[in-house]
Amino acid sequence: MDIFDKHLVLFVEKDGCPMICSVDMPIDINCKQLVTLDDLNPWFFPLPSNLCQIVPGSNHDFLTSNYRVVFSSPVLPDVVIDYDMSKKKFYVLQQEEVVGVDIDVKYMELLNAKAIVGLHFDDAKVQKLKDLSNTLTCERKEVISHDGVLIPLTILFSTKAHKKGHSPGILLGYGCYGEVLDKSWCAERLSLLERGWVVAFADVRGGGGVGPSWHKDGTGLLKLNSVYDFVACAKYLINEGYVHKNYLCSVGHSAGGLLLGVAINKYPDLFRAAILKVPFLDVCNTLLDPSLPLTTLDYEEFGDPNIPAQFEYIHSYSPYDNIPSGSCCPSMLVTASFLDSRVGVWEAAKWVAKVRGKMCHSCSRSVILKTNLSGGHFGEGGRFGQCEEAAFEYAFLMKVTGALEVADQM
């Protein structure tokens, strides 16, 4: 929510899709009765049809009637749009340039055009956007989890390069702290997508963006819901032919590494490769050490191990404490940062050492630990540092999956 002199801006969700609306101020209502949003005569902002993520821009002027928003999706490069809340018009100001790729320039299609009162077609027609919807396909599916709950799964692939039933793929997940999985535009992904890879985003429970209870249903004594949701999405990609069963990979960052660690322990044959970036893996020992900066705050998310019942549950899934003996494991790239104040560098190091010692000797030789001696929790800063990190990760995935050889055979 943002408030201005004459307008109130609200961020709402409808059918799992984010929407924005403005309400004229002051609000003249009877506070003694129940009031719904429709009673406030809101103006819903026209949104791009391929919308996945909304980020408010710099809106520091309290007296303004313009509201700036940055929109992005897997097929829509970041676009900045100004909305005039007084005149109920909008203007496309700027869009990120993408070099070396054929991009269609077309009129802005509106996600909620039918719901916008007083919007004429010409108002939308003059606003042009660049997107890759003719080159890339972005689908939103709902996957049935172990308890019948529908899990949103966003699937991105190249329309031309994707080979049904044969393509390699990456499944990304997080599922903690009520955070919505980032599905914004990322130019680095194009190098994989043009090689036929599939990139999928699993909005598992424990994360956000689906409903008010979505976060709570993946915390504490319900934490394993996140893992089963993630596994259900992985199996869906294979069963529906989006990804070949021998070429599915997974990526998790921080608490998302916990998600992958549990999934790998329980289903070691499901993934061909995994990238665990500064992962939270030694859950029991970390939560039992109150001297660490985030320990007591994490009691609400994962449970308090000082309570016996909660300790038993945490210990039952903690990745470090449940590594299966003698089992084969996927190839893994595990990263750690020496200056990480959120997840200790020792967590990744001791987990890799234990995996190499307990799991299949041949498979565990492909478990790699990469330690950044100067970066923090989010790695190196700067654009070039991020590009080098992405290039290293993509090279690892293509090498261990043999994706280059597969592409040559196709």
Which residues are known to be catalytic? 254, 340, 377
User: What's the rounded Cα separation, in Å, for the pair 356 and 359?
Assistant: 6
What does the angle CA 11 – CA 13 – CA 14 come to, to the nearest 5 degrees? 140
User: What's the rounded Cα separation, in Å, for the pair 93 and 68?
Assistant: 9
Q: To 10 degrees, what angle do helices 255-266 and 224-239 make?
A: 70
Phi–psi pair at 235, nearest 5 degrees: -65, -35
> CB atoms < 10 A from the CB of 58, how many?
7
Cα–Cα distances in angstroms (integers) from residue 71 to residues 7, 77, 100, 158, 400, in the given order: 21, 8, 22, 21, 35
Phi–psi pair at 274, nearest 5 degrees: -150, 145
* Residue that the structure tokens 């945490």 belong to: 314
Q: Kindly write down the DSSP assignment for every residue of 372-386, as one continuous string.
A: ESS-BTTB--SHHHH
Cα–Cα distances in angstroms (integers) from residue 307 to residues 90, 267, 310, 338, 349, in the given order: 54, 29, 5, 31, 28
Cα–Cα distances in angstroms (integers) from residue 109 to residues 47, 48, 112, 155, in the given order: 8, 6, 9, 21
**CA-CA-CA-CA dihedral for 173, 176, 178, 184, to nearest 10:** -30
User: What's the rounded Cα separation, in Å, for the pair 374 and 336?
Assistant: 10
Q: Contact 387/394 with Cβ under 8 angstroms?
A: no
